[in-house]
Amino acid sequence: MAVSEHAASPAGRSRYAVRNPYSVLPNWLYPAFVVIALGLFGLFAIWVVFFQNRGDFYPYVSPFYSPLITVGPIPPGVWVAWAPLAFRLTCYYYRKAYFRSFFWHPRSCAVDEPKRRYRGETVFPWVLNNFHRFAFYATVVQVGFLWFDAVIAFDFHGRFGVGLGSVILLVNVLLLSGYTFGCHAFRHLAGGGLDCFSCSTAARARFQLWKGVSVLNIRHDRWAWASLFSVAAADIYIRLLLHGFLVDPRWIS
């Protein structure tokens, strides 16, 4: 996100003022949004994963609990949440967002930052960001389970039905798929390392896949936020059903 800044120029600031689509916004708005939204989501996720034992309400399963694994007293979310957590923490977009917003490192492009020795992602803990591709593999498996959950959310004791929860879980997995399969690492897996896109059937197939991933990738930040909110919304909805605060409106054939 660009902020309202002026190009450095010996000829003076106003003459070379840079206008951009975001220039009418105060420059604290984006970092404040990131800090508040990620901070609240982080606290909510900790509460759900470590301090809750239920996240299912037939036939719905919270995305924090899928696949549902119950072993001893360990909360089910613990077995699952590490994969999407690692995926988002190491995501190229989120890295930009939290480096800029939490650490001002830097706050924006071409903006000065507190003087610190910059070592990129070569030292702990930031070096772990280089494992993003492996987090992608784990998350693809989890998205597969979420698609299964979305399908069975339309199955009410063997009869087809549609509940508000079915729709929420379906929208959630669509948004998560848009986010996951627009991943920069997946885009490289699809089309990277090739010298020629048309020299073989496999290369042509990879080119088509790369083009598809690129469509999602171009709005990766929007998919990231939309899917973050949908995960929280799906879990909150199921939790409200679980505790009797809501009744799921549904139609069953």
Q: How many degrees, rounded to 5, is the angle at CA 70 between CA 37 and CA 177?
A: 45
Q: C-alpha angle with apex 8: 5 to 14, nearest 5 degrees?
A: 65
Interface with ligand FES in residues 192-231 (CB under 6 A): 220
Listed in sequence order, the residues at least 6 apart from 167 whose beta carbon sits closer than 8 Å to its beta carbon are none
Q: Is 146 in the site for ligand FES (CB under 6 A)?
A: no
Residues with Cβ within 8 Å of 78's Cβ and at least 6 positions away in sequence, in order, are 49, 50
Strands (E), the chain: 56-57, 60-61, 155-156, 159-163, 250-252
Nearer to ligand FES, 83 or 183 (CB): 183
**Structure-block tokens of residue 49:** 């994963």
Binding of ligand FES by 91 (CB under 6 A): yes
What minimum distance in Å lies between the beta carbon of 177 and ligand FES? 12
| Total residues binding ligand FES (CB under 6 A) | 10
Site string for ligand FES, 44-83 (x = CB under 6 A): ----------------------------------------
> Is residue 181 close enough to count as binding ligand FES by CB under 6 A?
no
E strand or H helix at 237? helix 220-242
Residue 175 binds ligand FES, judged by CB under 6 A? no
- Which listed residue (81, 83, 146, 185) binds ligand FES by CB under 6 A? 185
- If binding is defined by CB under 6 A, does position 156 make contact with ligand FES? no
Binding site for ligand FES (CB under 6 A): 87, 91-93, 132, 136, 183-185, 220
